[in-house]
Chains A and B, each alone.
Chain A
Amino acid sequence: MLRKIRERLKSISQKDKNASLSDVNKKPVSKSITEKLFGRKTAKKETAKPKEEILGTQETIVRKTKFYTGQITKAVRMMPQELPIGYGVNRIIIQVRDPRWIHSYWEVTSDTWNRLRDELCDEFYKAKRVLRVYDVSYIVFDGSNANSFFDVEINDYSNNWYVDTQGPGKSWCVDLGLLLPGGRFITIVRSNTVTTPIEGPCWITDEEWMIPEEMFARLYGIGFGLGRSSPIGKAWQERIKRQLFSGALASPSSPMQKPKERKFWLVVNTELIVYGATEPDAAVFVQDKPIQLRPDGTFTLRFALPNGKQVIPVKAISADKEEERKITPIVNKETK
């Protein structure tokens, strides 16, 4: 919808532009014609003018300076319409999507690629681009002490990747790099560290706040809406259970529900328009209710028209209350 509006605006403004352009184009043309036809006369007028100054010209020039802050010499900068493709940095950022998946995006400058190409020569073209995903849980990662790592091969054109870590509750760091045919790995850029959340309740308990396993299970269930006091039916509970055990906690953040896709359909409604006119200062009653007249004495009423008979007395009384006119349309509507 917005696009439509914008396009319309655009076409309007273009029209305006075209119009003003053609105006500009026209002027000199018409001028030259007038000059041709009445050359002498216009020339005379123009030379005569400067001699007498139009009243207030000077004052206007002076007053204008009050609002003059300096010549704008800079050309008006056009706003770019698109975001930059890159920011000229080497960077990889990772983010947690859920307990198992992390998302990584990166940027590597062409300078860096060129340097690697120069250094590695032939090997560069044989190397695979990979994300090396390090498990860095509970350590200060120095590049060589990861608990474990695995590689994800990526293609040359992507600039982001979703990685299935298979490991909830762990910390991760990712290197974007080149894996050479000989097995050597060259890090191009290293990411931040993130920690995925655990997928279920924690196995660590607090001595001071101990709770028997069975009781926690009950609390856990109630917390997730499996309580026995729930009146909202088995179906929902079952669904929650399924979601609970499939690891997906559905909690709609938008309650919007789209209407069902209908097949072929037809809707027919009827409305009745009652309109007329009288003296503008008359009082008019439709079905004994006063109505408002337009300034010219006309009126229009619009009614939803149900089945059956409608008797619609329209009564007008003159301003001096001397005269009265009454017309009563009767409408029968049936639907078959």
Chain B
Amino acid sequence: MQKGYFCLVLHSHLPFVRHPEYEDFLEEDWLYEAITETYIPLIWVYEKLLEDKVDFRVTMSLSPTLISMLTDGLLQARYLKHLNKLIELAHKEVERTRWQPEFQSLAITYLNNFCRARETFERFKRNLTLAFKNIQDAGKLEIITCAATHGYFPLMEVCPESIRAQTKVAVNQYERVFGRKPQGIWLPECGYVPGSDEILKEVGLRYFFTDSHGVLHGTPRPKYGVFAPVYCKKTGIACFGRDLESSKQVWSSVEGYPGDHDYREFYRDIGFDLDYEYIKPYIHPDGVRINTGIKYYRITGSENKQPYNFEAAREKAASHAGNFMFNRERQIEYLFDFMKRKPIIVSPYDAELFGHWWYEGPMWLDFLFRKFAFDQNIIKMITPSEYLFENPRNQAITPSLSSWGWKGYSEIWLQGPNDWIYRHLHEASFKMTELAKSFPSADGLLRRALNQALRELLLAQSSDWAFILSTGTHTSYAIKRTKDHLLRFLRLYEDVKANSIDIQWLADVESKDNLFPDLDYRLHQ
């Protein structure tokens, strides 16, 4: 007998990093690694499930910046170049490890996977959003949107116009790419501030997610805790709270599954391990060693790392999937008994956790989907839309300000190393609102300048920059991006006000920060 629901949510996001002005740009690798290690392996999992006619459900956000990069011609070409280099290296590795069969079998697997990734990439004409669209159209995947550039809403409370622009730009892009309206949104960093749901309502979104305490600390007290969604008072937008127990099983780097000794060690990469002269063509052109993605060791549990074994890792992933499902079954049975209503367990994760950080993650997901479909009948996998259709009656409360960041609120994005950015970000927001008001219907060059001003503002608002600043390491790029976009914005503002737009400079900036081609500056109101 079915006693409850399980809703798996994967949040995929990378900030917009695209530097046509450089031949090779280190931070662009964030995208390339995520494509090879997460997005393509996830597509493989979904496609195989479809092929095997396994009924599964997954909810996935694709952030608008990620969609912009996945559909960008330059980055697509660069990814292919990156992948070809990787394939070349894997060929060499197969040769080099000839006398070490335990490593050679790994090198061969990497080579095959990379070649298969290239085949997949080319099958979708380099545009991976099409792959996700297919799975959504097949009814198994619900793609949700995110804010345009992953701006963190609670720290935009003084400029709701920016929250509105972040949301509307995202929804417009979603409709263009997926040919339908998004039902839900992943609030960046799971950051919710009461009142922002009014903007979600304006654009026709029906639900979002918060961390556990967003619902648990809501007013009035939520009867079912996080095991039923709540509607926001006034707006009626549904809010699903995260279940921490299931989250920790995967998230925790100490007790969670990814730390298992049979799983692949993230920090032992041949980019660092092998002879410098040999590896040089495959690391950064500057000569700095970086990860290549070819890793031969398992976590092991001691300093003396043992060679990785695909078969052992696969078996462990299967058993962990079994364990995860078993625990959800017990959790659901327990909750159902005293809630007298079918509970829903919502488990959101960063998509990049699967594959990139936890190499076996996609495999684990594959086992999990299959086990849920065939090995039990207590829990139904569901998307939020389906849940709301089946269970339309829910309590109305006001969720609490919250995020899923360190300490649960805004501290990670508002502390010593990054608090200086807000006086500039807010000022730019105020100025953008002023521009949108002063030019209710601009044309031609003026319109281009105004649109670009909004693009620059949005790019400066990415929560990723504040996050990187808070970590205190490799901050120069985050500082540069924050400043560059704000300075470009300020110049556009001045040029527009002075009616002296420099067309060449504008064209140059447009060609660099080229996301959201159909953007309309009037969305910032």
Query: Does B109 have its Cβ within 8 Å of any Cβ on chain A?
Result: no
Interface string of A94-121 (1 = CB under 8 A from B): 0111110101010100000000000000
B476 and A2 contact, CB distance less than 8 A: yes
B225 and A220 contact, CB distance less than 8 A: yes
* Nearest CB of A to B250, in Å: 9
* Chain A 190-236 interface residues, beta-carbon cutoff 8 Å to B: 192, 194-206, 208-211, 215-216, 218-220, 222-233, 235-236
In-complex Cβ contact of A96 among B98, B154, B251 (8 A): B154
Q: What CA separation (Å) do A231 and B189 show in the bound complex?
A: 27
Please tell me the size bucket of the interface on B.
35 or more
In-complex Cβ contact of A302 among B95, B157, B404, B476 (8 A): B95
In-complex Cβ contact of A206 among B96, B223, B255, B505 (8 A): B223
In-complex Cβ contact of A251 among B339, B406, B483 (8 A): B406
Query: Does A80 have its Cβ within 8 Å of any Cβ on chain B?
Result: yes
Q: What CA separation (Å) do A216 and B335 show in the bound complex?
A: 12
- The answer to whether residues A96 and B218 also contact, given A215-B338, A236-B255 and a CB cut-off of 8 A, is no
Q: What CA separation (Å) do A236 and B155 show in the bound complex?
A: 31
B400 and A250 contact, CB distance less than 8 A: no
Q: What CA separation (Å) do A303 and B486 show in the bound complex?
A: 51
Query: Does B88 have its Cβ within 8 Å of any Cβ on chain A?
Result: no
> Which of B30-38, B112-120, B167-175, B419-427 binds A?
B419-427
CB-defined contacts of A184 to chain B, threshold 8 Å: none
Interface string of B118-157 (1 = CB under 8 A from A): 0000000000000000000000000000000000001101
* Nearest CB of A to B338, in Å: 6
Residue of B nearest to A202 (CB): B219
Q: What CA separation (Å) do A87 and B157 show in the bound complex?
A: 20
In-complex Cβ contact of B227 among A195, A223, A303 (8 A): A223
* Chain B 389-426 interface residues, beta-carbon cutoff 8 Å to A: 395, 397, 400-402, 404-412, 414-415, 419-420, 422-424, 426
Q: What CA separation (Å) do A83 and B286 show in the bound complex?
A: 29
Given contacts A227-B331, A304-B99, 14 further A-B contacts (CB under 8 A): A1-B288, A74-B500, A79-B487, A83-B424, A83-B483, A83-B486, A96-B409, A160-B423, A197-B217, A211-B221, A219-B225, A227-B334, A252-B253, A255-B350
Residues of A within 8 A of B (CB): 1-5, 8, 74, 77, 79-84, 87, 89, 93, 95-99, 101, 103, 105, 107, 159-160, 192, 194-206, 208-211, 215-216, 218-220, 222-233, 235-236, 240, 248-257, 259, 262, 269, 271, 287, 301-306, 310
Report, nearest first, the 10 A-B pairs whose CB atoms are least far apart.
A249-B408, A219-B225, A225-B244, A209-B223, A229-B330, A98-B409, A225-B245, A197-B401, A204-B220, A206-B220
Residues of B within 8 A of A (CB): 26, 92, 95-100, 103, 154-155, 157-158, 189, 194, 211-213, 215-227, 241, 243-245, 247-249, 251-256, 258, 267, 275, 278, 284, 286, 288, 303, 323, 327, 330-331, 334-335, 338-339, 350, 353, 357-358, 395, 397, 400-402, 404-412, 414-415, 419-420, 422-424, 426-427, 467, 471, 474, 476-477, 480, 483, 486-488, 490-491, 500, 502, 505
